[in-house]
Structure 1
Amino acid sequence: MSIRLTRLKASDAEALLVFEAENRYFFETMVPSRGDAYYMSENFQTRHKQLLKEQSRGISHFYLIKDDHDSILGRINVVDLNKQRRGKLGYRIGKMYTGKGLATKGLQLFMKEVIKLDIRKIHAKTTSNNFPSQRVLQKNGFHYEKTDTDSFNMNGEEVKFVYYSWENGRELV
C-alpha cells in the first residue's frame, strides 16, 4: 500500500474525528483514554483549531498518514518543541492498518520531515506491553533510554512507560 504524509489543515477536522472515533477503543487498549468529551464534535473542533495554532507558531508539527484515496490511516506529530529544537513524538495507526508496516513507513517519512524542519532531538514513550510500537521506534533510529520503575494499571494490566530518543546527526547546542 502506498502512503503519504499530509500536513494537518483545518479541512481535515471532520475526517479526523471520524478516524479517532472509529479507532477509539482500539487506541485505548494501548494508551490511556482521552475521555468522552474529546469525541464531541464541538470540543474536537476547538481542539483541532488549537493544534493548528500551535503548528503555525512552530511549536508542534502535525501530519496525517493517508493512502492514495485520501483516507486517513494514521497520524503522527512532534509537539512541545523548545528553543533547542527538541520535542516529543506521538503517532497512532488505525486498527485496520496495523501489522502492515504502515507505522514503520509513516515514521520513516516523518523523520525526513523532521530533518527538513531542523528538529534536533525527539523523545518518545510507549508502554511496556506495546512491543510493535517499540519495534517501530527502533527500526527508525530511536534508541532505548529507560523504563519507568513505577507501573500503572491500564485495562487490567500493570504496565510501565518505556522511553526512547532520536538525535539529529548534527551536534546539539
Structure 2
Amino acid sequence: MPELQRLRPDHAPALLAFEQENRAFFAASVPDRGDDYFTHFAAHHAERLAEQATGACHFHVLVAEDGEVLGRFNLVDVADGSADLGFRLAEKATGRGLATATVRELFSLSTTAYALTTLRAAAAVTNTASRAVLTRTGFVPTGEEPILSGKRGVGYVRELATGPSGGV
C-alpha cells in the first residue's frame, strides 16, 4: 500500500524520475514546470525543503513500497489556519482511487499536524479528474473562476472539522 510521506532530501532521485516520466501526462492538464525545473532540479528541491522548514508550505509524496514516487500532495501558502492544496498523480497510478484516498488522508494531517481548518484548491475546467477528486472529498465550488495557465478554472474550498465530535 502506498504511503504518504513528508518531503525529505532523500526523495530527490525518485521525485525527479516521477516528474520526468509523467511530464507529458501532467502538461495535458496542469502547467508544465519548464526545462529549468529539470535542469536545476537539485536546487529546486532544496528550495522546497527550505520553504517547508519555515512552515509556509507542507510538501508530501505518495511513495510505493519499492520507493517509487506515485504522486505529490502539497499544502502551500499556509496562513491563518488555511492552505492551498495541489496534487498530481502518476499516469500509471490513476483510476485506482489513490488521489481520493490520499487527499482524505491529508485532511487528518492538516488538522492534527498543521492546525489547518480550511483548504482551498483550484482546477482547470478541463481537468475533470482533479475536479472529481475534489468533489468526492467534500470540496465545494466557491464561484471563483481563476485563470490557470490561460485556462478557465474552478475554485474550491473545504472546511476541516476538528474536535471530539468533528473529525475529518
TM-score (norm 1): 0.87
Q: Which residue does 1:29 correspond to in 2?
A: 28
Q: Tell me, in whole angstroms, the C-alpha distance in 2 between the residues paired with 1:4 and 1:152.
A: 31
| Aligned equivalent of 2:2 | 3
Aligned letter for 1:18? A
- Counterpart position of 2:85: 89
For 2:62 and 2:30, the matched residues in 1 are separated by: 19
Contact 2:5 2:60 in 1 (8 A): yes
From the superposition, tell whether residues 15 and 169 of structure 1 become closer, same or farther in structure 2 (CA, over 3 Å). same
Give the corresponding residue for 1:156. Answer: none
Q: Secondary structure at the match of 1:32?
A: coil
Distance 1:167 1:149, change over 3 A: closer
For structure 2, the 5+ residue unaligned runs are 163-168
Instruction: Give deviations 1:19-49, integer Å, cap 9, x for gaps.
Output: 1011001000001211111111xx1111111
**2: CA distance between counterparts of 1:111 and 1:34?**
26
- Structure 2 residue aligned with 1:68: 65
5+ residue gaps in structure 1?
Answer: 154-158
Question: Post-superposition shift, 1:167?
Answer: 1.4
Q: Which residue of 2 aligns with 1:19?
A: 18
> Aligned pair 1:105/2:97, yes or no?
no
From 164, 170, 173, give the equivalent of 2:156: 164
Q: Would you say the 8 A contact 1:80–1:88 is kept in 2?
A: yes
Deviations 1:112-149 (A, max 9, x none): 11111211211100000111111111111211112528
Maintained 8 Å contact 1:147/1:160 = no
* Distance in 2 (alpha carbons) for counterparts of 1:78 and 1:93: 15
Q: Is the 8 A contact 1:3 1:106 kept in 2?
A: no
Amino-acid identity (%):
33
- Calculate the TM-score normalised by the size of structure 2: 0.89
Q: CA 1:60–1:19 in 2, change beyond 3 Å: closer, same or farther?
A: same
Name the CA distance, whole Å, in 1 between partners of 2:143 and 2:10.
39
1:94 and 1:151 mapped to 2: Cα distance?
20
- In the alignment, what sits opposite 2:121? 124
Whether 2:14 is the aligned partner of 1:53: answer: no
Structure 1 outlier segments of 4+, above 3 Å: 149-153
| Residues 14 and 67 in structure 2, CA contact (< 8 A), matched pair in contact too | no
Aligned residues: 162
